[in-house]
Structures are given as C-alpha cells and as structure tokens.
Amino acid sequence: MDDVYHYSIENVRTQIAAQSAVLGVYELRFYVEGGRPSRENTGQVDTFYYYPSGGTIRDRDMNIMYYEPKLDIYHTSSRDA
C-alpha cells in the first residue's frame, strides 16, 4: 500500500518523517470511518495528532483514538523497533 492515508504505524512514521513537530505534536492525515483513523480507503480524510511522548494518536477534540506502544518514545519496545 503506497497510500499514506491508510492508518498504520508505518504510515505514521512516514508522515512524521516529512515534517517537524509543532510544540511536540505532529499533524497526521488518515482516512476516517466512524471518527477513527481507518486502514481502508473510505474516501474521507481527516486530521489527527500524534504525541510521541505518550505514543498517542488524538482527534481534533484531543480524544485519544489509539495508544501505540511502538510509537511511544518512552516505551521500551519503541527503542527496540
């Protein structure tokens, strides 16, 4: 899958590599279904926010959508990845 709008850890990493954090937060764009990032092409893209210090993906209202240990810079498995 070459489409970086499909939700995956790899696509989170691809998107953050192409930008700088603003106040420690990265802006991400993913297909959305039911208000959550989707692994499928739904035809609708929305903005989400990645917080590396907690490994969380949040929506526009700052609700936690996902906690990804592999993306948490303080989690041991993220250092091993």
- Report how far residue 38's alpha carbon sits from residue 12's, in angstroms, rounded to the nearest whole number: 12
Q: What confidence tens digit (pLDDT) does each residue in 18-77 have?
A: 999 999 999 999 999 999 999 999 999 999 999 998 999 999 999 999 999 999 988 765
Which residue type occupies 7? Y
Task: Please state, in angstroms and as integers, the Cα–Cα distance from residue 65 to each residue in 22, 34, 80, following that order.
Answer: 20, 11, 24
Q: Looking at the predicted structure, is the pLDDT value of residue 81 above 60?
A: no
